[in-house]
């Protein structure tokens, strides 16, 4: 432990499991006081009990729920330094099979949820004259994609645009806004939503030879939340084991 977020108060949305839980564990080890928020009440409460921190059951697609998570942090700790909007859904669905309602739900959680988290956190951060807003984007959408990711890709590319706009608008308030673009990370959601063949295919495409862990992603969030990143705003960090690099499918073959 090096206390990189010592004394900071963070709300982490989508913290019950996977990458969000990894962020919570990492931030806690480095000295932050946490409020965990998630739409899965049972999983979320269990994770919060494990860490000994407050939990709030929310749906981040609803503005009043985002505000309730921020209010809990203010009521418990008296301030809010960091918000991490990590909640996201990624149902596998070809565009031709995606209904308008399917489309809207992915937009509502991933994209409107990001707006809601920023809008709710802005109030105390602006009053304090400082804050860190952090978002989980993806390499899927901003850089690459594969079939079945139409709505998801649109949300993650959208989050990157939102990060840039928010960073600019909030720069005068001492608030920085950044994101992390994970590659393929082995999480509960990944195992539920993608089959073994998909996961193996992704592993084969990663130069560093393995899927990422929630801790790999959390390390980038920790940097962006720390004082070391105080002059960084409006950008994203790719954490993908080199997956974006290959020009060809079989990147291990050298020219003969």
Ligand X SMILES: NC(=O)c1ccc[n+]([C@@H]2O[C@H](COP(=O)([O-])OP(=O)(O)OC[C@H]3O[C@@H](n4cnc5c(N)ncnc54)[C@H](O)[C@@H]3O)[C@@H](O)[C@H]2O)c1
Spell out a b/e string for 23-56, using b for 16 or more CB atoms within 10 Å of the CB, else e. Answer: bbbbbbebebbbbbbbbeeebbbebbeebebbbb
Residue 242 binding ligand X, by CB under 6 A: no
Closer by beta carbon to ligand X, 74 or else 188: 188
Residues 6+ apart with CB under 8 A from 192: none
CB of 197 to ligand X, least distance (A): 15
Residue 153 binding ligand X, by CB under 6 A: no
Closer by beta carbon to ligand X, 59 or else 102: 59
Residue 5 binding ligand X, by CB under 6 A: no
Matching residue, tokens 């949305």: 13
Residue 182 binding ligand X, by CB under 6 A: yes
How many Å apart are CA 140 and CA 181, to the nearest integer?
8
In this chain, which of 25, 190, 229, 238 binds ligand X, going by CB under 6 A? 190
Cα 219 to chain centroid distance, Å, stands at 12
How many Å apart are CA 57 and CA 54, to the nearest integer?
10
Query: For residues 210 and 203, is the Cβ–Cβ distance under 8 A?
Result: yes
Which residues, numbered 43-62, are part of the site for ligand X (CB under 6 A)?
43, 58-61
- Part in contact with ligand X (CB under 6 A); list of ranges 11-19, 23-31, 75-83, 242-250: 11-19
- Part in contact with ligand X (CB under 6 A); list of ranges 95-103, 169-177, 188-196, 245-253: 188-196
Q: Which residues are tagged catalytic?
A: 152
**Which is nearest to 132 in space by CA: 209, 224, 49, 215?**
224
How many Å apart are CA 236 and CA 154, to the nearest integer?
16
Residue 159 binding ligand X, by CB under 6 A: no
Residue 90 binding ligand X, by CB under 6 A: yes
Size of the site for ligand X (CB under 6 A): 30
In this chain, which of 16, 28, 53, 120 binds ligand X, going by CB under 6 A? 16
Residue 239 binding ligand X, by CB under 6 A: no
Which residues, numbered 93-122, are part of the site for ligand X (CB under 6 A)?
109
Residue 12 binding ligand X, by CB under 6 A: no
Residue 67 binding ligand X, by CB under 6 A: no
Closer by beta carbon to ligand X, 217 or else 229: 217
Give the sign of the dihedral formed by CA 140, CA 193, CA 222, CA 241: negative
How many Å apart are CA 155 and CA 24, to the nearest integer?
23
How many Å apart are CA 19 and CA 24, to the nearest integer?
9
Binding site for ligand X (CB under 6 A): 13-14, 16-20, 38-40, 43, 58-61, 86-90, 109, 136, 138, 182, 184-185, 187-190
């Amino acid at each position: 432990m090096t206390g990189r977020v010592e004394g900071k108060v963070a709300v982490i949305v989508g913290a019950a499991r996977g990458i969000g839980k990894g962020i919570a564990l990492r931030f806690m080890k480095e000295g932050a006081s946490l409020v965990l928020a998630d739409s899965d009440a049972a999983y979320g409460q269990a994770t919060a009990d494990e860490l000994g921190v407050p939990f709030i059951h929310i749906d981040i697609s609803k503005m009043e729920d985002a505000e309730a998570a921020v209010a809990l942090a203010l009521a418990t700790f008296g301030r809010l330094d960091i918000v991490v909007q990590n909640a996201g859904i990624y149902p596998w669905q070809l565009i031709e099979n995606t209904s308008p309602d399917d489309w809207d739900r992915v937009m509502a959680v991933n994209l409107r949820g990001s707006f809601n988290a920023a809008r709710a956190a802005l109030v105390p951060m602006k009053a304090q004259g400082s804050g860190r807003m952090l978002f989980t984007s993806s390499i899927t959408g901003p850089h690459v994609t594969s079939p079945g990711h139409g709505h998801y890709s649109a949300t993650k590319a959208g989050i990157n645009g939102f990060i840039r706009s928010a960073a600019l608008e909030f720069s005068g308030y001492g608030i920085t806004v950044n994101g992390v673009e994970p590659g393929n990370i082995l999480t509960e959601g990944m195992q539920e939503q993608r089959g073994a063949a998909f996961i193996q295919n992704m592993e084969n495409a990663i130069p560093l030879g393995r899927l990422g862990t929630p801790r790999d992603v959390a390390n980038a969030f920790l940097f962006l939340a720390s004082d070391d990143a105080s002059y960084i705003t409006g950008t994203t960090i790719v954490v993908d084991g080199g997956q974006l690099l290959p020009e060809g499918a079989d990147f291990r073959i050298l020219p003969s």
